Structure 1
Amino acid sequence: MNKYMSAAGLAGLDQNDYEDLYRIVEKDPDLYIEASYIEGKEYDERLIELTKYIAPNIGITLRGFLDRDDQFIRQLAFPVIKINEPVSKKYKRISPLKNEPAALTRSDFPTLGCSLYSYVQNLYEVSDGEELSSLTNATWKGIGISALSSAGMILLPMGKSENKELRAIEGKRNRLKKELFNGNDDAYEQLTLTEMQIYTTIDKRVKKNGIYGVISTTLMPRGVEEDMYYCIGQIEEISSSKIPLTEQIVYHFLLSCCGIRFCVSINKDTLIGEPEVGRRFKGIVWMQSRIFA
């Protein structure tokens, strides 16, 4: 995940610098999570997650295990954005990744139109050493989400007068999606007709104003990596952190995107444009989640 270390304000570090940072995390973590033993091997392993915050909202997490000599063996290292509260309380599922001690959560948001997959920050806290395959059908109390972006740009807001017609149709579509989501099969036909109406309206707008004059927000899957998304979201709040280790500035944007609110963090050096509340952020984001068990 070194690509997103730069998003956490650690751009320009070489491998030796990262190893020095990892040793600091191992020696003095802010969060230490030890899961249960894994049995059935030559010797029992204790699964470990260590997190050290390098800024109030930004941390580095190491995931690995203790060997028979109680030495920590690192398997993964990745940046995390602190998540304080859940945004969803329904339909959480966890899917293990192959060839690494990691997993994705899946949450269904009616306004998004597809399942949202995100990389689990606190895997060993909720799994407690169980085989990840046994957690596939687990349901949790809540899930909070955040994101990191390695590069992005600021877009101007859309004109409110131009959005009025489209917002009215989208509002109708969102209501129908919620009805369908709650089991009302009769809403399917009305939803199909509404989608056709939206397509016609958008087609006319694209020809007149271009694609960014039509799409106000979007969160669209990107490629085969399920936790990577194309994101356009409206900025509701802006804050920043200075990383003492590198003196780099990281912006934190609270975005409203497809009816979901979450924080996106990005290195100031990789952001094009001047961020302001009301403007839009556009970029590729790596979605993360914290499970509230």
Structure 2
Amino acid sequence: MHKYMRAIGFSTMESRKKLQELLTDAVIHADRRSLARNQKNILVGEFCKDFAKGLGVAVCGELDEEDGFIYEYYYPYLDGTGITSYEDVSVERHADKESYAGVCDDIKVGISLIFYLKDKIPYIRAEATNRLPVRGTTLTLSALSTGGTILFPIQKDAEQEQRVKKNSVARNNLMAAARKGDEDAIETLTLEDMDMYTIISKRIQKEDVFSLVDTYFMPYGVECDQYSILGEIMAIRLVTNEVTGEKIYILTICCNELTFDVSVNIIDVYGEPQVGRRFKGVIWLQGSINFPEEFA
């Protein structure tokens, strides 16, 4: 079974038979059905069924000439809210099946964000009609987590918060200039990193690391779309899986100036989430590219 099924409320489902029944129900009673022909003129489909508001399972496969559905794979999902990034996104197909990974180079994070592409049908439709790349799209990220810890925030006054925002804007401008080959910007960033390393090396001897690090977004493990994050909780929503009755937290997290939703089972959270506190955990990052309506 998919590792992140517990993040949408299926922590106790271990039987392959029950899983097959669940997937069959998701196809027959899908809340959303999307179909498109790919470049090989094969009709591919994605059937999504919600088991709580914004949480569910997507079943993907092909349709044969008699409109019979041929199952290929499934994945749990969380529908994100809002817009996470306005940067352009590139997409690559996975080797083993017709699923896709997206890559977004957002300056705020400092790394290339690699995510699992939800709602692949609009992309397949655009690819099949030779209308790629599509400019002017936006990106909505979401994530599933199998466990996390709630931490207290770092106390900052208004002046400190303004200073942090100002420094962040300045650093983003330097990063943008460095990407264009500006040698002065590259040198400035290098010196800033060296100074930061020196300061942290001294303070870490007497202070806890999470009192020094306010937020981070780092790759985790060997899979490209999994990350270890620490971010501030901006909003909390508690939903219930209508099949199992398990309760799931949907946390809106601000991490490295990126805002996205994270789903985590209530039994996998250590601590009590509250707005203003921080969430630390490992996530599986998903994303939906917001195409123009003509591709929907």
Task: Please indicate, yes or no, whether the TM-score normalized by the shorter chain is above 0.5.
Answer: yes
Instruction: Give 1:173 deviation, angstroms.
Output: 3.1
Q: Deviations over 1:252-288 (max 9, x none)?
A: 1111101111111100011111111111101110000
Cα distance between partner residues in 1 of 2:56 and 2:190: 44
Instruction: Give 1:197 deviation, angstroms.
Output: 1.3
SS at match of 1:90: coil
Matching of residue 76 in structure 1 with residue 77 in structure 2: no
**Aligned match of 1:284:** 282
Kindly indicate whether the alpha-carbon contact (under 8 Å) linking 1:95 and 1:136 is maintained by their aligned counterparts in 2. no
**Aligned match of 2:21:** 20
Cα distance between partner residues in 1 of 2:91 and 2:261: 21
Kindly indicate whether the alpha-carbon contact (under 8 Å) linking 2:6 and 2:146 is maintained by their aligned counterparts in 1. yes
- Structure 1 residues 195, 268: closer, same or farther in 2, change over 3 A? same
Q: What is the total number of aligned residue pairs between the two structures?
A: 286
- Structure 1 residues 168, 205: closer, same or farther in 2, change over 3 A? farther
Instruction: Give 1:135 deviation, angstroms.
Output: 9.1
**Aligned match of 1:10:** 10
Kindly indicate whether the alpha-carbon contact (under 8 Å) linking 2:85 and 2:258 is maintained by their aligned counterparts in 1. no
SS at match of 2:205: helix
**Unpaired stretches in structure 1, ≥5 consecutive residues:** none
Cα distance between partner residues in 2 of 1:209 and 1:275: 24
**Aligned match of 2:203:** 205
- Structure 1 residues 20, 129: closer, same or farther in 2, change over 3 A? farther
Amino acid at match of 1:98: A
Matching of residue 67 in structure 1 with residue 64 in structure 2: yes
SS at match of 1:69: coil
Q: Deviations over 1:5-63 (max 9, x none)?
A: 10011110122222111111111111111111564xxxx63101111111111121011
Amino acid at match of 1:64: G
SS at match of 1:128: helix
- Structure 1 residues 238, 84: closer, same or farther in 2, change over 3 A? closer
Larger CA deviation: 138-147 vs 229-238:
138-147
1:155-174 equivalences under 5 Å are 155-160=151-156, 164=160, 167=164, 171=168, 172-174=170-172
**Aligned match of 1:56:** 53
SS at match of 1:235: strand
Kindly indicate whether the alpha-carbon contact (under 8 Å) linking 1:219 and 1:257 is maintained by their aligned counterparts in 2. yes
Instruction: Give 1:140 deviation, angstroms.
Output: 5.7
Q: Deviations over 1:39-95 (max 9, x none)?
A: 4xxxx6310111111111112101100123322111111111113443222221001
- Structure 1 residues 23, 221: closer, same or farther in 2, change over 3 A? same
Cα distance between partner residues in 2 of 1:126 and 1:91: 14
Amino acid at match of 1:82: D
**Unpaired stretches in structure 2, ≥5 consecutive residues:** 292-296
- Structure 1 residues 37, 258: closer, same or farther in 2, change over 3 A? closer
SS at match of 1:240: strand
1:184-223 equivalences under 5 Å are 184-223=182-221
Kindly indicate whether the alpha-carbon contact (under 8 Å) linking 2:231 and 2:280 is maintained by their aligned counterparts in 1. yes
- Structure 1 residues 108, 135: closer, same or farther in 2, change over 3 A? farther
- Structure 1 residues 168, 23: closer, same or farther in 2, change over 3 A? closer
2:178 to 168, 172, 180: 180
Cα distance between partner residues in 2 of 1:159 and 1:130: 48
Cα distance between partner residues in 2 of 1:122 and 1:83: 12
- Structure 1 residues 231, 55: closer, same or farther in 2, change over 3 A? same
- Structure 1 residues 118, 31: closer, same or farther in 2, change over 3 A? same
Cα distance between partner residues in 2 of 1:103 and 1:37: 13
**Aligned match of 2:144:** 148
Cα distance between partner residues in 2 of 1:27 and 1:168: 49
Normalised to the residue count of structure 1, the TM-score between the two structures is 0.89
- Structure 1 residues 112, 153: closer, same or farther in 2, change over 3 A? same
**Aligned match of 1:230:** 228
Kindly indicate whether the alpha-carbon contact (under 8 Å) linking 1:170 and 1:198 is maintained by their aligned counterparts in 2. no
Cα distance between partner residues in 2 of 1:167 and 1:129: 41
Matching of residue 122 in structure 1 with residue 123 in structure 2: no
Instruction: Give 1:136 deviation, angstroms.
Output: 8.7
Normalised to the residue count of structure 2, the TM-score between the two structures is 0.88
Kindly indicate whether the alpha-carbon contact (under 8 Å) linking 1:36 and 1:130 is maintained by their aligned counterparts in 2. no
Kindly indicate whether the alpha-carbon contact (under 8 Å) linking 1:94 and 1:136 is maintained by their aligned counterparts in 2. no
Cα distance between partner residues in 2 of 1:139 and 1:286: 26
Amino acid at match of 2:141: I
